[in-house]
């Protein structure tokens, strides 16, 4: 594992750009709207979270599974794959990489419960998940270590003297950021700073008396730090945008939308 993010395989191989992501969804967007596509992605994150909850996994394992899922779909379309198999395998692989391994039969059994209720069934056994794991590893180019925003978030909040309530609010924003593509586009410390920025802007920051955050104008603090403030604003806008879509999201509408996408045929090329 690289000693820092800038030397990591994530920085060298999996920090993508928006054009790459736009190309990856061209196939799907010929069949559904951009808004519906984002809602489906939110649903798959929701299903991942449900599976992780049944398996009693800690948040960093869930976040790693989210990243694997997003990396896979940076090169594949939803309609040409089965996301239930993909996300189940992502969860299984994440438990191993994050050193909290579970038996594959346990993961598969819980997936059958989740997807029977929410997805219309999970027709795969543990051997099929094991088989797909090799394909997933190839799609991930065998680069499996994921750097998350949680550590820099905790460190920066400690340096500022942010109280637990503010840290918790920023932590929730980082969790929500995995519904967007920012984990594929930006370094983790910028995502952490964007979460702090939103916490401050939305008046949920609370600093200990006499701390750096308490005696500093936070607007000036962000202006003075040696980072790309434009990227921080872009990340914040992406997160706020997903909240807008999320507010209109209805879980009961997702399975019919998914079936519509799977049954759709691409328009004839001119």
Tokens of 177: 């950021």
Tens place of pLDDT for every residue, the chain, 270 residues? 567 898 899 999 999 999 999 999 999 999 999 999 999 999 999 999 999 999 999 999 999 999 999 999 999 999 999 999 999 999 999 999 999 999 999 999 999 998 887 777 899 999 999 999 999 999 999 999 999 999 999 999 999 999 999 999 999 999 999 999 999 999 999 999 999 999 999 989 999 999 999 999 888 898 888 888 899 999 999 999 999 998 888 988 999 999 889 887 654 333
Q: Which residues contact 161 (CB under 8 A, 6 or more apart)?
A: 207, 208, 210, 211, 212, 213, 214
Q: How many CA atoms lie within 13 A of 76 on its CB side?
A: 18
Cα–Cα distances in angstroms (integers) from residue 28 to residues 23, 119, 195, 201, 241, in the given order: 10, 19, 30, 35, 20
pLDDT computed for residue 269 by the predictor: 38
pLDDT computed for residue 226 by the predictor: 84
Q: Answer yes or no: are the C-beta atoms of 193 and 156 closer than 8 Å.
A: yes
Q: Answer yes or no: are the C-beta atoms of 198 and 238 closer than 8 Å.
A: no
pLDDT computed for residue 237 by the predictor: 96
For residues 81 and 86, give the distance between their C-alpha atoms in angstroms, rounded to a whole number. 8
pLDDT computed for residue 93 by the predictor: 98
Nearest to 10 by CA among 83, 102, 74, 85: 74
Q: Answer yes or no: are the C-beta atoms of 98 and 61 closer than 8 Å.
A: yes
pLDDT computed for residue 112 by the predictor: 93
For residues 112 and 237, give the distance between their C-alpha atoms in angstroms, rounded to a whole number. 36
Radius of gyration of the chain (CA): 19
pLDDT computed for residue 2 by the predictor: 62
pLDDT computed for residue 265 by the predictor: 62
For residues 209 and 212, give the distance between their C-alpha atoms in angstroms, rounded to a whole number. 9
Look at the block and give the residue holding tokens 């914040």: 236
Domains of the chain: 16-140 (1.10.472.10), 149-248 (1.10.472.10)
Q: Answer yes or no: are the C-beta atoms of 177 and 235 closer than 8 Å.
A: yes
């Amino acid at each position: 594992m690289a000693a820092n993010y800038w030397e990591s395989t994530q920085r060298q191989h999996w920090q993508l750009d928006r054009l790459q992501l736009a190309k990856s969804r061209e196939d799907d967007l010929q069949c559904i709207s951009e808004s519906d596509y984002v809602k489906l992605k939110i649903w798959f994150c929701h299903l991942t979270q449900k599976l992780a909850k049944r398996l009693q996994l800690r948040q960093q394992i869930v976040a790693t599974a989210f990243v694997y899922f997003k990396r896979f779909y940076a090169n594949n379309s939803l309609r040409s794959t089965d996301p239930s198999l993909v996300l189940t395998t992502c969860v299984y692989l994440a438990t191993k990489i994050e050193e909290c391994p579970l038996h594959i039969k346990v993961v598969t059994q819980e997936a059958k419960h989740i997807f029977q209720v929410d997805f219309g069934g999970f027709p795969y056994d543990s051997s099929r998940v094991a088989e797909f794991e090799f394909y997933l590893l190839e799609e991930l180019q065998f680069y499996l270590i994921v750097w998350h925003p949680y550590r820099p978030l905790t460190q920066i909040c400690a340096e500022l003297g942010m109280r637990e309530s503010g840290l918790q609010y920023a932590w929730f924003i980082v969790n929500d950021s995995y519904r967007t593509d920012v984990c594929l586009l930006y370094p983790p410390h910028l995502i952490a700073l964007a979460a702090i920025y939103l916490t401050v802007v939305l008046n949920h920051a609370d600093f200990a008396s006499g701390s750096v955050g308490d005696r500093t104008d936070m607007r000036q603090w962000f202006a003075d730090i040696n980072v790309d403030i434009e990227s921080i604003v872009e990340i914040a806008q992406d997160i706020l945008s997903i909240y807008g879509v999320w507010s209109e999201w209805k879980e009961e509408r997702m399975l019919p939308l998914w079936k519509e996408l799977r049954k759709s045929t691409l328009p004839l090329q001119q």
